[in-house]
Chain A
Amino acid sequence: MKAIYSLILVLALVVLATLGAGAAKMQIIFAYCVPGTAFVIFLVGFTAKIIGWAKSPVPFRIPTTGGQQQSLDWIAQNKWDNPSTGPQTAMRMLLEVLTFRSLFRNTKVILRHDDGKNPIVAYVSAKWLWLFALLFHYSFLVIALRHMRLFLQPVPQFIVAVEFVDSVLQIYTPIVYQTDLLILAGAGFLLARRLYDAKLRYISLVNDYFPLLLILAIALSGMYMRYIAKVDVMAIKDVVMGLTTFKFKTPPATIDVSFYVHVFLVSTLLAYFPFSKLMHFGGVFLSPTRNLPNDTRMHHHENPWNNPAIKPHSYEAYEDDFREPMFEAGLPLEKNPEEAA
């Protein structure tokens, strides 16, 4: 049901843009105002969210991450899983961000039976999530880079190279980009696993389905523009360059309405980004189990929310405060009243 709500929401956005830019002729709003506003919301919202997180006190190190911690000299330390210095921690973070090692550790529970038909609970490796998450994220990155051909003039050689590699198979006309297919596979899998697995379906919310369906809709609308509608790319570059150089002009009438749908969906994604789970983009760098070295035995951790006005109060001092009543109650004491006197 939550998946259906999300789907209806995305379809409503598509209809809104189709009617707005198509029937209602509000091309200027959909070409400039909406994406411009969404981009500002994205940048400001993202920054505000990170600053908000930065204000939260840093917790005590969490040393129970995988791998052997630094110990005696003859015990090999697992430096990338349980780092004790800054550079090692940076390496762990880098590998997490670039290769998703946490997802690589994903396991699933299975129930097996031994020869005597006794049930055995086992945890086995489940790499599909890792694989498709990698496909999805890297495809997204390449697609975003490719789009820079519409934002930059002249097009830098680097973007041309990305474009070349992505269309190297030379299939169909216009040439199919591999990442177009891979992002559909990636996002499709991420959606399918939420729908197919009963445990995941139970914990999935509208704000899990909505971004997935939104990104799928963005990918599909983009592919529709390229492979089916065959939109006027030069007219679109004209509009996009107007947006990035702040030299706005009336969008050419030759632009297909699918362009406005695509842009509206992307704008929605940008505006929604800072308020959603998509903030893991910035949040991954602030994960305590990833960015804190295991150096609890080398550095004293001062609890950041401690009140400096409250001084340490030892047990001896406590006993000094309450020695008489404690003695009368028959509690064991370090020093009896006679000894203390």
Chain B
Amino acid sequence: MKLYNGGKIITGLVIFLGIFLAPLAYNVGKAAYTQPKLKMPENEKECIESKDFMRTKHMQLLNDWRDFALRDGTRFYVNSKGKQFEMSLQKTCMKCHTNKAEFCDKCHLDASVTPYCWDCHIQPEGLKK
């Protein structure tokens, strides 16, 4: 088997394989990944909607709340069970989810998501981490 310009081509192939195997190499020797454990509120068992809904659609809900509260002046949200909540990140959400670092950031860091909530809302001093 004769390769023409074998040295250069093999070098190129090594670079190619290196790039595509880099993600595997990066994770070598690390413990199996598990989804982060969130610190759940102690005094409240149920969120405003079901767990599945909150897991996947909380950003949509927060976005809607912002539009309703700030643009339409609607301040109250009625959930799927007919219960009423004030549309407020700080008064409603953060009443129970008091710690951003122990709750929001856990998944957001792993999923590399940077929501822009805190561009406008002041992140409570005591909860900063």
Contacts and interface: CB of A to CB of B under 8 A. Distances in A.
Interface in B45-89: 52, 55-57, 59-60, 62-63
Given A56-B4, A155-B110, 17 more contacts: A42-B20, A50-B12, A54-B6, A55-B1, A57-B4, A58-B4, A148-B23, A149-B111, A152-B27, A155-B109, A163-B112, A173-B63, A231-B56, A233-B107, A233-B111, A234-B110, A282-B12
Contacts of B114: 160, 163-164
Nearest to B116: A170
B4 A232 contact: no
Given A151-B23, A153-B110, A159-B112, A230 B57 contact: yes
Interface stretch (B30-38, B92-100, B121-129): B30-38
B110 A237 contact: yes
Interface string A135-173: 000000000000011111111000110011000001001
Given A54-B9, A55-B4, A160 B112 contact: yes
Contact of A237 (B3, B23, B27, B33): B33
24 contacts: A42-B20, A46-B16, A50-B12, A50-B13, A51-B3, A51-B13, A54-B6, A55-B1, A148-B23, A151-B23, A151-B27, A152-B26, A152-B27, A153-B33, A155-B112, A174-B59, A230-B60, A232-B55, A233-B113, A234-B36, A234-B55, A241-B33, A244-B23, A285-B12
Contacts of B2: 55
Contacts of A304: 4
B5 interface: yes
A176 interface: no
Q: Binding site of B, secondary structure by majority: helix, strand, loop or mixed?
A: helix
A254 B112 contact: no
A304 B107 CA distance: 59
A16 B109 CA distance: 34
Nearest to A304: B4
A319 interface: no
Interface of A: 42-43, 46-47, 50-51, 54-58, 148-155, 159-160, 163-164, 170, 173-174, 230-235, 237-238, 241-242, 244-245, 247, 249, 254, 282, 285-286, 304
Contacts of B113: 233
**A-B interface, 9 closest residue pairs, ranked by CB to CB distance from nearest:** A241-B33, A149-B112, A247-B32, A173-B63, A155-B112, A151-B23, A54-B3, A54-B9, A58-B4
A282 B15 CA distance: 11
A245 B35 CA distance: 14
Interface string B100-111: 000000010111
A241 B107 CA distance: 14
A245 B111 contact: no
A235 B59 contact: no
B111 A173 contact: no
A235 B110 CA distance: 11
Given A164-B114, A173-B59, A234 B17 contact: no
